């Protein structure tokens, strides 16, 4: 279980505990203020936002990796010998040492991929 999911599980359990404490079955030896409940809710919301942000960043990274693999695989079928790391460098705007024709094929594939996936 990831640390974010563990933290979220802790907050879910703490909310269950608060609900239990407010039920008539148990009277705690202390008082839980509405401020404490609001703070717990705020923390839980922040943890959830952070978890969503991390998932989005992971999805973006996976999308980039898949795009590179797709381009490399498609061009390899046609005889292009550029590696995934070279294609990554081209995507990142870096210069590489390779035949101009193969570099242009990668650039064209990137343009095609981008136009296909943004439509």
Tens-digit pLDDT profile for residues 23-70: 656 666 777 888 988 898 899 889 988 888 888 888 888 888 999 999
Does residue 83 or residue 16 have the better pLDDT?
83
Cβ neighbours, 10 Å, residue 13: 10
Q: What are the structural domain ranges in the chain?
A: 3-118
Closest Cα to residue 113, out of 64, 59, 58? 64
Contact 4, 47 (CB under 8 A): yes
pTM of structure: 0.55
Most confidently predicted of 11-25, 90-104, 105-119: 90-104
Q: What is the pLDDT of residue 88?
A: 95
In angstroms, what CA-CA distances link 62 with 13, 28, 57, 71? 32, 48, 9, 14
Q: What is the mean pLDDT of the chain?
A: 85
Distance of CA 82 to the CA centre of its chain: 28
Structure-block tokens of residue 45: 């919301």
């Amino acid at each position: 279980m990831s640390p974010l999911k563990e933290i979220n599980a802790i907050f879910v359990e703490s909310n269950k505990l608060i609900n239990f404490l407010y039920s008539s079955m148990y009277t705690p030896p202390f008082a839980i203020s509405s401020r404490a409940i609001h703070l717990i809710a705020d923390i839980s919301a922040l943890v959830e936002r952070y978890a969503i942000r991390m998932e989005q960043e992971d999805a973006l990274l996976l999308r980039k990796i898949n795009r590179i693999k797709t381009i490399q695989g498609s061009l390899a079928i046609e005889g292009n010998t550029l590696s995934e790391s070279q294609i990554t460098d081209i995507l990142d705007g870096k210069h590489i040492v390779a035949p101009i024709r193969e570099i242009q094929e990668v650039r064209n594939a990137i343009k095609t991929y981008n136009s296909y996936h943004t439509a």
